[in-house]
Chain A
């Protein structure tokens, strides 16, 4: 008897069939992986199960009885727990407060915090998920926060644990730890649904694999019966080139020079602790690292959004350390921001207005403060054609474009400006395979045109396939440099998580790893 069963679930959004008669079942003590690209309908399906969305048709059965799940409360009562991709944790509150939220022990509305803490401790010991019950969420690492999410589901009495892209924000070591935890839970009799688009994870963790594409289940298999290539083909519906074709390029003169840079984060803590490197023309330098190790602050200081506390940033020999964003653009720095909705686009602006964002003061867009609508439209049409932006016209507002086309607008603008240096921060986040290929091609083309590219990415796949040279950042320091050929995912992962950190701390050779880059131009 399956613990959870979905029969013919259908969910229609305007213009999109998000779930098309999807059926699945989950047995006790089983881990089912839902594999699919962004937009394949995995999260929609699980949101239906968790009561955040209501299906248009279909049936959900728990313990072989049909149930209606209209709210998360009902899902929780049925023993379904969910760890969301974006954590549902309240940062200023404590671990205990977050875990017991909604089911607080106590009476007459008064919370018995001693009891609450006790229960949290019990559960965390039982599943060996150790956390400090009195710590505030904001002070915890991402991995710890995820642990709190899992504890929260367990506290609520989950028998089914839905994990939505749980590894997206984790270090390789934390991923290993998560897999161990999930295994333990399943051994204790729980079941888990593991949503992901990463092939290797599926193979590592799942008992059974359901592959989704365009809202429908296109295949079911087991890790034993297939491999990553086969899964990829099933997921995308065609053969996938797992690496972009990239020729050799000739390295030119130094374009960007960063020397002993120190940058503080929003909380005034030092996030970049003395980083030095150079990027040359015709070169893609990738900065690999786990999220939150100073990449954001590094990028923001280079593009003029954050003032470094000390150090030097120079572009073609010109000091731009204290340049603001405008001066940085004018000096020839382009920036594909990590969050296109927050920093890359004004969603309410139309495509033409977005195409000139940052170039809106200078010809052809404007002169002496007066804008030239005709020239702007002409430019927009040219970019639409050159970068294959799928839109009916340049007057469509950005919010009405698909994610891939939105990113094309950003890429078209930033590369179309013909910069000296392109800073690309997580340029393919949340894109489907087609759009990823497009962005990668553009970045390589930029390199081949002799421009300098600084790529910051959390995706090892992306780093390995694009980079000519790789720097690994860990806790605000560059801990290792690789020329392309020497790198592999395991070694990168080792350094990304502070492996070898102690060695670098007092070893002079470690110092040279922080400033190795004069020789790198050979």
Chain B
């Protein structure tokens, strides 16, 4: 390429935005099409299924509330994954940090009784973040110091976290009842429901505010999406994170500590995942039990990849998967399709996003052949 002149400036016009959104959008469409094909082959009616899924996720304010409910931890976990990916770290074990975040929030919520909500809520959320960060810390240190692959270590820590939670909810933190779960959090440690913020009169006047179980955690999630975006774009922390992710050698040469940046990135990623767990406990279940997360940490991977690791794009990506999860029940109920199809669609989305689309592949194939330079 040495003889080639610089390519023209990529201008931020609509064409560029369409191009950027194009691959993820096409990936989703393709995944849904193949998902439909699988349903059809298995003897189900995909139209009916997706209609039910849509009805169950966007059909009524309450259904939409459910979508928001499911999207909340997905946004936060997705942000965590995205922040890690930006440093070229794959925090596949976000689920474990999410568990520890949930544990911290539940435990502290049961201990801190009698405090006003404006003390409890921030303290609990912060505790969830710290717990998530702490759970990512050992894998982070192992990665930074000796290069132990974070995919294996964070995954192992996920299993360990699950067993810890499963022990606590049958043991020390068990509600004195039959069911293995903790006691209910006091009201001042619960994230309020959105519809609970409005008077009955307001709710009657604006029926779309009847969002059912959706809670203010969604606002926390959106707030953090903006924060992560600002951090990546306008702070040295974010700049160093991206530099290390793209080229650790150049970053090191520029005086950036690759090890320290790695530790920070994985811990911040863990903090966001931990927050997802805390929000889920405080906003949805109001207590801790074995199965409080339906794999939000893993779905967060798909969310981040679909959003191409852009913090703001994480929101719609999480909404998509949140909607599938919210509507999955209705789909199973009305079209009889097993909810597991959603996992399949999710996997397909990841394949397509990661493969940059078959079309781009063939285009690139020709370009790549062209860009090999004289010096090779």
Binding site for B on A (CB under 8 A): 12-16, 18, 38-44, 47, 52-53, 85-86, 214, 303-305, 324-330, 335, 337, 342-349, 353, 357-358, 360-361, 366, 369-371, 373, 390-393, 395-396, 400-405, 430-432
Contacts and interface: CB of A to CB of B under 8 A. Distances in A.
B229 interface: no
B199 interface: no
Interface in B338-376: 367, 369-376
B146 interface: no
A18 B257 CA distance: 41
Most buried by B among A42, A325, A327, A432: A325
Interface of B: 1-10, 234-237, 239-240, 242-243, 246-247, 249-257, 367, 369-376
A346 B247 contact: yes
Contacts of A304: 255
A169 to B, nearest CB: 14
B88 to A, nearest CB: 11
Contacts of B6: 390-392, 396, 400-402, 405
Contacts of A345: 247, 250
A401 B6 CA distance: 5
B375 A349 contact: no
Contact of A402 (B4, B374, B376): B4
Contacts of A12: 370
Contacts of B374: 18, 38-44
* 10 A-B pairs closest in CB distance: A326-B255, A358-B254, A403-B2, A325-B255, A39-B2, A39-B3, A343-B253, A357-B254, A13-B370, A348-B246
B223 to A, nearest CB: 19
Given A39-B374, A396-B9, A402-B2, A337 B253 contact: yes
Contacts of B253: 303, 305, 325, 335, 337, 343-344, 358
19 contacts: A18-B374, A47-B376, A324-B255, A326-B255, A326-B256, A329-B254, A344-B250, A344-B253, A348-B247, A357-B254, A360-B239, A360-B240, A366-B235, A370-B235, A393-B9, A396-B6, A396-B9, A396-B10, A402-B2
Given A346-B247, A404-B2, A329 B237 contact: no
Contact of B247 (A324, A347, A432): A347
A431 B5 CA distance: 14
Contact of A373 (B7, B234, B236): B234
B372 A53 contact: yes
Contacts of B246: 346-349
B255 A403 contact: no
A16 B7 contact: no
Nearest to A362: B236
Given A325-B256, A370-B234, 5 more contacts: A13-B4, A53-B369, A343-B253, A348-B247, A392-B6
Contacts of A370: 234-236
A357 B370 contact: no
A98 to B, nearest CB: 20
Given A39-B374, A53-B372, A396 B254 contact: no
A432 B372 CA distance: 18
B376 A400 contact: no
A326 B250 CA distance: 12
B243 A346 contact: yes
Contacts of A395: 9-10
Nearest to B7: A400
Nearest to A36: B374
A113 B256 CA distance: 48
Contacts of A405: 6
A39 B376 CA distance: 10
A345 B236 CA distance: 17
A15 B5 contact: yes
A39 B371 CA distance: 12
A360 B256 CA distance: 10
A23 B276 CA distance: 66
A121 to B, nearest CB: 32
B234 A329 contact: no
Contacts of B10: 395-396
A495 to B, nearest CB: 30
Nearest to A212: B374
A43 B376 contact: yes
B264 to A, nearest CB: 12
A360 B254 contact: yes
B375 A430 contact: yes
A370 B3 CA distance: 38
A85 B370 contact: no
A343 B250 contact: yes
B4 A392 contact: no
B4 to A, nearest CB: 5
Contacts of A357: 243, 250, 254
A361 to B, nearest CB: 5
Most buried by A among B251, B256, B257, B375: B375
Contacts of B375: 38-39, 43, 85, 430
A432 B9 contact: no
Contacts of A53: 369, 372
Contacts of B370: 12-14
Contacts of A15: 4-5
A303 B253 CA distance: 8
Given A85-B375, A369-B237, A430-B375, A346 B2 contact: no
A371 B376 contact: no
Contacts of B242: 346, 349
B1 A403 contact: yes
A403 B375 CA distance: 11
A146 to B, nearest CB: 17
Contacts of B240: 360
A47 B7 CA distance: 25
B316 to A, nearest CB: 24
B239 to A, nearest CB: 5
Contacts of B372: 13, 47, 53
Contact of A349 (B236, B243, B255, B369): B243
B248 to A, nearest CB: 10
Most buried by A among B3, B7, B234: B3
A370 B240 CA distance: 12
Contacts of A396: 6-7, 9-10
Most buried by B among A12, A328, A344, A400: A400
A390 B5 contact: yes
Contacts of B5: 15, 390, 402
Contact of A342 (B249, B255, B376): B249
B257 A326 contact: yes
B313 to A, nearest CB: 18
Given A346-B247, A360-B254, A393-B9, A402 B3 contact: yes
Nearest to B231: A369
Contacts of A14: 4, 367, 370-371
Contacts of A358: 253-255
A394 to B, nearest CB: 9
Contacts of A343: 249-250, 252-253
A18 B3 CA distance: 9
A188 B256 CA distance: 56
A361 B255 CA distance: 10
Given A18-B374, A47-B376, A430-B375, A38 B2 contact: yes
A393 B372 CA distance: 25
